Amino acid sequence: MSAMNIMGTYSGIDMTTIDQLIEAESASGTRYTTQKTEYQTEQTAWKDVNSRLDSFYNKLETLTKAETFNAKNVSVSSKDFVSVTAEGSAAVGEYKIHVDQLAAATRLTGGKITAESITDELGFNGNLNLSNGESEEAFEFNITSDMSLKDIKDLINEKSDDSKIKANIVDNRLILERTDTGEKALTVGGSLVSSLKLDENTTVEGKQSIFTIDGIEIKKDSNTINDVLEGVTFNLQNVHEENKSDTLKITDNTEVAADALQAVVDQYNSINSFIETQLSVGDPSAEDNSTGALVGDSALTRLQTNLRSMMTRNMETASETVNGLQDLGVEVDRDGLASFDREKFIEAFEKNPEDAALFFHSSTNEKVESVDENGDPSTETVTKLTGFANDARSLVNEYISSTTGIIKTKTDTYDRLIKDVNQRIETFNERIETKRQQYITQFTALDTAMMEAESQLEFLMGQLGES
């Protein structure tokens, strides 16, 4: 009979009893798993804070961009003739647009070549030269007898980026066309002009686009024009009838800046609400009271205080009329929750858009005296960023920096604590397993001894019975 089978047979102490003993002794080890869970919960909470702050940091960046505050709305009375886009540098105004002519590319259509298929060998040997009137030399293409019309087309198109001439095939005709529009040259030469029926060509000369802005005639080589009005790009699509025109209106788009500030306010509220939850002490009088994972954490409390101060205090910025967010429609209540009055912001922004933008972001160059590597005095120019958005980003970066941030230090500390408690758990489990084996050895020995004693007793009783 094996030791495991013997155990409990005589003493009544079996594996179930040992499991109960081990369970009782293991109870003291729950403090380690509880501690590990607490560390992991706290670390996860800080990682969540980091994620929310990172999003806040990126949303604040939008408030440092010029295009946020000088965005433009563009409207054209008809969408059929011209489309328009405007950058922030575009001037606000209203213009009359009339399209007289669209730009077109010079095109040469050759005669029909006798061949059953465009992939049949043509049997021509020679060369074809194409000139664009801009390059000093023509582009030469050497053609052999085993080449088809398609091969010739592909050969021409391989150089189209340089030659500005592309090829196509329609009804066994080789069609050559400029890749750019306008009054541009396209001429053919070489020994195979006749064989390729290019001497039987029909040429359509390229044209410039012609349009007027408030009666001023403008001619361009393209239908896409971006050098007539600063910051404005026109895409001409169709020709107007005589005496017809479209009205173009360019206005300030205050919604872009309003949306950007709304996003910052919303993200601040997300952070504030999460911090409130993590610092909550719950209801201490309740039996099942639940507290936040980071209750009592001084670093998180400081973050909450700094964020609220940032959202409510007046600031020294380059702006002359905006002192704080409250001047732009942002208010923070006693619980730290921010609200945004969009209409108040738009009113203040439209009144002085440049000043509103300067409140969020401005930069100045400052000369800083220092000493170079040789110990000689030197002066360098340093760009100093000021304004609400830059100051707020600096504050947030103190927490989320991947190298020196407060949260990085926190999470690294938790990693060390969790590693340490894991080692404690491993040591404890090894000790418990050793204890289990000791119990098995001890109680197996007890049962073995009791079995042997019983055998001896039976032997003695047998001897006494025989005498």
Residue 36 lies in a domain: no
Residue 288: pLDDT band with limits 50, 70, 90? confident
Radius of gyration of the chain from its Cα atoms, rounded to whole angstroms: 42
* Nearest Cα residue to 155 out of 175, 140, 173, 172: 140
- Report the pLDDT averaged over residues 342-350: 95
41 belongs to a structural domain: no
Residue 383's DSSP bridge partners are: 365
Structure tokens at 94: 């209203």
CB atoms within 10 A of CB 344: 15
Q: Which of 236, 252, 268 is the last residue of a domain?
A: 252
**Residue 83 structural domain:** 72-102+209-252
pLDDT band at 7, cuts 50/70/90? low
pLDDT band at 2 (very low <50, low <70, confident <90, very high): very low
| Listed range (25-39, 120-134, 292-306) with the worst mean pLDDT | 25-39
Task: Identify any residues that bridge with 248 across adjacent strands, giving them in sequence order.
Answer: 76, 95
**Tell me, what's the pLDDT at 6?**
58
Q: Is the pLDDT of residue 445 over 60?
A: yes
More confident residue, 63 or 437: 63
For residues 130 and 177, state if they share a domain: yes
In a domain, residue 214? The reply is yes
Per-residue confidence (pLDDT) for residue 12, from 0 to 100: 62
- Predicted confidence at residue 3, as pLDDT, reads 47
In a domain, 323, yes or no: no
Distance CA 430, CA 442 (A): 18
Nearest to 232 by CA among 86, 96, 79: 86
pLDDT digits (tens, 9 = 90+) for 23-39: 777 667 678 888 888 99
Average pLDDT for 235-258: 95
Count how many Cα atoms sit within 13 Å of the Cα of residue 279 in the half-sphere of its side chain: 17
Q: Domains in the chain: how many in total?
A: 2
178 pLDDT higher than 80 = yes
pLDDT tens per residue across span 71-111: 999 999 999 999 999 999 999 999 999 999 999 999 999 99
- pLDDT band, very low/low/confident/very high, at 184 (cuts 50, 70, 90): very high
Tokens standing for residue 421: 């408690």
Domain membership flag for residue 430 = no
Sheet of 72-76, strands arranged across: 72-76, 246-252, 93-101, 209-213, 216-220
Note whether 136 and 176 are same-domain residues.
yes
| Domain annotation covers residue 293 | no
Q: How many residues make up the chain in this entry?
A: 467
For residue 240, give every residue at least 6 positions away whose Cβ sits within 8 Å of its Cβ, in sequence order, or none.
81, 98, 99, 100, 246
Q: How confident is the model at residue 467 (pLDDT cuts 50, 70, 90)?
A: low
* Residue 1 confidence (pLDDT): 47
Which tokens sit at 205? Answer: 């000369």
**How far is Cα 258 from Cα 268, in angstroms, rounded to an integer?**
15
Q: Which of 176, 204, 232 is the last residue of a domain?
A: 204
- Which pair of tokens denotes residue 275? 């911090």
368-374 long-range Cβ contacts below 8 angstroms, 24+ apart = none
The answer to whether residues 28 and 420 touch, using CB atoms and an 8 Å cutoff, is no
Asked if the structure places residue 295 within a domain, the reply is no
Instruction: Read off the pLDDT band of 373 (50, 70, 90).
Output: confident
Residue 361 and residue 315 in contact, taking contact as beta carbons nearer than 8 Å: no
Taking residues 247-256, report their average pLDDT.
95
